[in-house]
């Protein structure tokens, strides 16, 4: 089957962004060069970070990426919101109920959107 196996985020500062995701995901990159870091995900995909200034052709960050993290319940949403706030992660939306679930929205160093959501009511 032909399907994607990686998500690539273009970042301004590779080292700082890599440190951010190492702390957030609690994993180390399996591939790390001066322009590219790749993190293995448990579902077989990888999350890759590419230094924006090395992209050919040039890449432009247009706030068009959202990584969604689904959790089991609303308590976990609130706990992660508090944990991420304590880490100084920028918040774009506080926890709230939306038609698809209970969620909050954070931003990484390059303004990529990080959504945490519980699809259950409690």
Extents of the domains making up the chain:
6-54, 66-118
What is the pTM (predicted TM-score) of this model? 0.85
Q: Residue 56: its pLDDT value, please?
A: 84
Asked if 6-54 and 66-118 have one fold, the answer is no
Q: Residue 65: its pLDDT value, please?
A: 85
Reduced to 3 states (helix: H, G, I; strand: E, B; else coil), residue 54 is: helix
Residue 89: C-alpha distances to residues 28, 30, 44, 106 (Å): 19, 24, 27, 7
Higher pLDDT among residues 65 and 24, named by residue: 24
pLDDT at 37 over 80: yes
Q: Which residues in the chain belong to E strands, given as ranges?
A: 6-11, 31-32, 36-40, 46-51, 66-71, 90-98, 101-107, 113-118
Percent of all residues in the chain with a pLDDT value above 70, rounded to a whole number: 94
The CATH code belonging to domain 6-54 is: 3.30.720.120
How is residue 77 written in tokens? Answer: 């949403």
Spatial strand order in the sheet of 101-107: 66-71, 113-118, 101-107, 90-98
Q: Residue 58: its pLDDT value, please?
A: 83
What is the spatial distance between Cα 109 and Cα 90, in angstroms, rounded to a whole number?
8
Backbone phi, then psi, for 44, in 5-degree steps? Answer: 95, -15
Please count the other Cβ atoms lying within 10 Å of the Cβ belonging to residue 33. 12
pLDDT tens-place string over residues 71-121: 999 999 999 999 999 999 999 999 999 999 999 999 999 999 999 999 976
Q: What is the mean pLDDT of the chain?
A: 92
For domain 66-118, give the fold: 2,3-Dihydroxybiphenyl 1,2-Dioxygenase; domain 1 (3.10.180)
Best mean pLDDT range from 8-22, 42-56, 58-72? 8-22
DSSP 8-state assignment for residue 53: G
Higher pLDDT among residues 7 and 61, named by residue: 7
């Amino acid at each position: 089957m032909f399907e994607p196996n990686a998500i690539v985020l273009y970042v301004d500062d590779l080292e700082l962004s890599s440190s951010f995701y190492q702390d957030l995901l609690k994993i180390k990159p399996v591939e790390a060069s001066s322009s590219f870091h790749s993190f293995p995900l448990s579902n077989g995909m990888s999350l890759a970070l590419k230094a924006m200034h090395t992209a050919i052709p040039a890449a432009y960050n247009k706030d068009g990426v959202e990584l969604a993290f689904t959790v089991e319940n609303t308590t976990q949403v609130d706990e992660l919101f508090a944990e991420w706030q304590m880490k100084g992660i920028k918040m774009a939306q506080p926890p709230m109920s939306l038609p698809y679930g209970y969620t909050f929205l954070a931003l990484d160093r390059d303004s990529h959107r990080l959504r945490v959501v519980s699809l259950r009511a409690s």
